Amino acid sequence: MGAPLKIAIAGLGTVGGGVVKVLAAQGAELRARAGRDLIVVGVSARDAKKARGFQVENFVTDPLALANSDADVVVELIGGDEGVARKLVETALANGKHVVTANKALLAKHGKQLAALAEQKNLQLKFEAAVAGGIPIVKTLRESLIAYEVQAVKGILNGTCNYILTEMEASGASFAEVLKEAQALGYAEADPTLDVGGGDTAHKLALLSSLAFGVAPDLSAMTVEGIQHITPADIHFASEFGFRIKLLGVARRTPSGIDQKVHPAMVRARSPLANVDGAANGVLVDAGRAGPFFFSGRGAGEAPTASAVVADLVEIARGSHTPVFGRPATGLGALKPAPADAALSPWYLRFEVLDLPGVLAEIAGHLSQSGVSIESMIQRGRDLGAPVAIVMITHETQQSAVERALKGIAASDKVRSRPCMIPMEAA
């Protein structure tokens, strides 16, 4: 039996508290798997007196003190891409301590630099908990699916958005109504912008892209769109066409570079990603000749995320040494972004127009002029002169062509609201 692995934990919120509890409750099993004891020698949080349901020992007020303690590993669960979290990770690595973190924002912004620092010191920087909670997608991309080039990664990576879209579909309620309910239930933050605007998914996708394609994480090369504009009507029409709407993070190889997008997308109702409901996450990996692989599970919460943190700690206790992003930091290339039109797709289009003679011909004319052809259409009739929905599915086409057509259509005095366009993803 080796010497104990001494652990310091910064942040005792949902995840940090879960880590402390599982280390205490599962000590014998973890010792058997790791070949040594895993012991907590220091913790830090904002409030030392807060009731947490477990005993807090070796508390320090300043989390940076943990980087100067006798710990072998510092677990950073503070969050944020700058400030104390970044300083703690950098100082811990500089002081010869391994780091485990769930901080996707920090790694999406500074991942290559932190990986280089860790590898220079022959230390581990692990982050399984940063993406998709308890789903072991980081280890899978870093170590398992490496025989053939990964062609694409597509994922439902934010439980808040998936919960909202699932509930909108089930209840017919609006985005605003379901968001309010999600906040009351604790599924959404008081300020939900990072989640519903797609930013949280973007951070996670940047890490998956790095692992899949051997490039440095790069948020600047990504287009990001949230779910705020999705309506119950869109969800209903998607169902009529045999699709469901999901917020996806998509990264794929193209002949001209890596295409990275976060956007609401329509996926076929029978596909694996379409059937990830509630606050769950799901990831679909196209591993080239090895085939497609699908992973799903709880993407957040105490137990799944703490499980991912502890799994990283056990690997460190065993003496596992792998490059942070699957290849040495010095070998991570700059991400070459694909042009916006590199990936063709069909599109869902919805128009709210006055039900007047000639309006459909006008819309069709703009689409035709831009080279956009229609595969199928639904039109609902109402009282003459009242707004009516016209919904179309296009054949595969470039995004710029659709946007060009919609710009002309939106200028018409017969169109009563901004046209909606949602890509359709093969998944």
Residue corresponding to tokens 């320090």 = 60
Q: Whose structure tokens read 């699957």?
A: 326
Q: How far apart are CA 149 and CA 103, in angstroms?
A: 27
Residues with Cβ within 8 Å of residue 200, at least 6 apart in sequence? 104, 157, 158, 160, 194
Q: Which residues are the active-site residues?
A: 204
Amino acid at 110: H
**Are the C-beta atoms of residues 119 and 329 closer than 8 Å to each other?**
yes
d(CA 107, CA 37): 29
Q: Which residues on neighbouring strands pair with residue 98, listed in sequence order?
A: 73
Identify the residue whose tokens are 């997608």.
Answer: 137
Stated as kind and residue range, the H or E segment containing 388 is strand 387-394
> How many residues in total does the chain contain?
427
Rounded Cα gap, residues 245 and 166, in angstroms: 9
Largest CA distance in the chain: 83
